Amino acid sequence: MTDSARPIVPRTTADAEADLALVQAVLAGAPGAFERLLRQYQGLCWHIVDRMVRHPEDTRELCQEAFLRVHRYLHQYRSESPLKAWIGQVAYSVAKRHLERRRIPLAEAPDGGDGMALAESVGQDFDLEAAWAEDEALGHLHAAIETLPPLQRTLLTLYHLDEVPIGEIAAMTGLAEGTIKSHLFRSRRQLRAVLEPRIGVVA
């Protein structure tokens, strides 16, 4: 599914007001406010960090670090962007620094192709959602996703399985939308190469 084909639900005034109200409550020290923020976004944080590092104990510690940073820097949040994207950016940054400290490559090296040409081809590769929907393919698909480098694994699951729009992923990661599309293209191509001989996935 291409990003243009995926319906993008605009951020409503009510959503923006809810984000701002929660942030203001936390900053004011309202009882239970930070716990409410934690409950609302801990799943997002865990998903991003876990997809990056793939180690439960490290994920747990890094999520704790991420929410400590959220609490410390929440006063810097600007309501022009969704709180979800801002917290996702914190989680991504914490996981990225962890991998860099361990000298774990974030992504495969570019293959020398034209990034914009790849971006234009994102929607023309095999249908990941359809492959995911086939029960007998679940094990193969999960194993294939695990072979991807951390960044590409995270981008792929955010976009295709969590259906996060590319614009929001860009806000979380700081990557240009064209760069994200290029990573998605390479990831889908790699998955196709792994899955095609096993379950007959075709482009």
pTM of the model: 0.76
Taking Cα atoms as reference points, which of 116, 117, 93 lies closest to residue 106? 93
Taking Cα atoms as reference points, which of 3, 49, 1 lies closest to residue 168? 3
Q: How far is Cα 73 from Cα 87, in angstroms, rounded to an integer?
A: 10
What region, left, alpha or beta, does residue 163 occupy, with left being phi > 0 and alpha being psi -120 to 50 degrees?
left
Determine the pLDDT at residue 97. Answer: 95
Residues recorded for the chain: 203
Instruction: For residue range 81-133, list pLDDT tens digits in order.
Output: 899 999 999 999 999 999 999 998 888 655 544 333 333 333 444 455 555 55
For the CA atoms of 159, 160, 162, 164, the dihedral, rounded to the nearest 10 degrees, stands at: 30
What domains, with CATH codes, occur in the chain?
A: 13-101 (1.10.1740.10), 115-199 (1.10.10.10)
pLDDT at 46 over 70: yes
Determine the pLDDT at residue 15. Answer: 87
Instruction: For residue range 164-194, list pLDDT tens digits in order.
Output: 899 999 999 999 999 999 999 998 888 888 7
Least confident of 47-56, 93-102, 153-162, 192-201: 192-201
